[in-house]
Amino acid sequence: MTNPQNDIPNSKPASKNTMYKANIYEDEIDLIDYLNILWKRKYFIVLSSVLPTLLLGLILFFSPIDYRATFTYDIVPKKTDYKKLLEKFSSAENWDELTAKLEEDKFSERDRRILLDRFYSAENLGILAAKLEENGFNEYAQGISKAKIQLEISDTFLTMTVIGRSQEDMQRISSIVRNNFERVLPVSSVKQELNSDIARLKIDMVAIEENKFNLELELERKRSTLTKLKDLEPVDSNRIPGGIILHFDNVSENSEYLPIAYQIQATDANIINIEETIKANQRKYKYYKDLLSLNEKLFDEVKDKTSSFYDIWEFHSFLTRMASDCKDEELIHYLNAYMKKIENAIFANTPIVEKPMIYSVPKGSLRKTGIAFVALLMITTFGAFLLEAVQKSRKPGSVKASGSDGQTR
């Protein structure tokens, strides 16, 4: 008799080791499938990745070489004597002032931003392009941008790199760009400074005018006080308690506690002081007025010429002519000092190396070609798998029919 237990199917689940081996087998099948797809589509992958890479490499290899000329400027020409500075400001209460002084020798982020904005402004690039076209560099002028003229600024140095295609023309092109940076661009700074000076002078003149009324009113009050003090009868010195000594931090504010004779003397001194202040303010107002007129003339000189290749040396010549024609000694001193300031700015704005070498710019053909090959290989590999999937989906019978019971036949 057959054992009924032998007919019962073995319901014992497969061991973990068996399932692990099955998963490995499936992974190996999937990997083989992937390799088969890659081998099947090898010509597609090779043609779509290698050929474009070779074409790009040839284009980069035979493309024109760029050349560059680099000018380096020391943008902090002044050198602070730190030893003397430390000796002078060594006290604890002056450390903040010392720190501020040390920071003056650094090119601040604000200065950096102003310089870059001014150089790359549409106005300055237009001036530079017009000068380049004037010298026959039309193609370079039309494509002028940050890519062709690069400014890099650190805390102490500024590097200007001029990039161009023609090695023969680079010397002249870089010279024009350099003149623009060293001589034309500073005129914009002068224009801005003059505009600020004019505004400051007007504010100072307004302050003098506003203070004039208060000083005259105080002078009138002091004169009236003096008249009344002189009409007072002096106090008998025998009635003043003896042995009393008065101490004042400010006699002018406590003069009413003095004897009449000393009050009169203090009031006289205050009147003289106010009169001299009014006289000094009147002279200062006249000087500010003349200085304002002078600065407005200087501003008019550069206002309409910043759109052309008007350089700082031409402005210096204009200052020299004004100084020779000026009759006011104070304004002559001002103009001479201003010319020295312009000269210092000109000589400070000189590159460390007067005539730098012109070097070729590395193309980086190998690196760019390698990056392009890797990118194309990844794209074409993905495209090979995608083509295989599309091809299988279009084969007849790839879609299995379903029975009425919902099960696949």
- pLDDT per position as a tens digit, 75-86: 764 544 444 545
What's the mean per-residue pLDDT of the chain? 78
Mean pLDDT, range 227-246, rounded to an integer? 61
Find residue 157's DSSP bridge partners. Answer: 74
Distance of CA 242 to the CA centre of its chain: 73
pLDDT in tens, 133-161: 999 999 899 888 888 899 988 878 889 99
Cβ neighbours of residue 151 closer than 8 Å, sequence gap 6 or more: 115, 116, 119, 120, 158, 159, 160
pLDDT score for 238: 52
Question: Could you tell me the strand order of the sheet in which 157-164 lies?
Answer: 149-153, 157-164, 67-74, 358-360
Alpha-helix residue ranges (DSSP H) falling in 232-358: 260-303, 312-325, 329-348
Length, in residues, of the chain: 409
The 10 Å CB-count burial string (b at 16+, else e) for 305-340 is bbeebbbbeebeebbeebbeebeeeebeebbeebbe
The 10 Å CB-count burial string (b at 16+, else e) for 111-131 is ebeebeeebeeeebbebbbeb
Enter the DSSP assignment of 66: P
More confident residue, 353 or 13: 353
pLDDT score for 106: 59
pLDDT in tens, 173-188: 999 999 999 889 899 8
For residue 266 the two structure tokens come to: 């203090």
pLDDT score for 250: 58
Residues of the chain above pLDDT 70, percent: 73
Mean pLDDT, range 323-329, rounded to an integer? 90
Q: How far apart are CA 372 and CA 377, in angstroms?
A: 8
pLDDT score for 52: 86
Identify the weakest region by mean pLDDT among 6-15, 153-162, 400-409.
400-409
pLDDT score for 308: 78
pTM for this predicted structure:
0.61
pLDDT score for 80: 45
Residues of the chain above pLDDT 90, percent: 26
pLDDT score for 324: 92
Per DSSP bridges, beta strands 157-164 and 67-74 are antiparallel
Confidence of residue 296 (pLDDT cuts 50, 70, 90): very high
Confidence of residue 369 (pLDDT cuts 50, 70, 90): confident
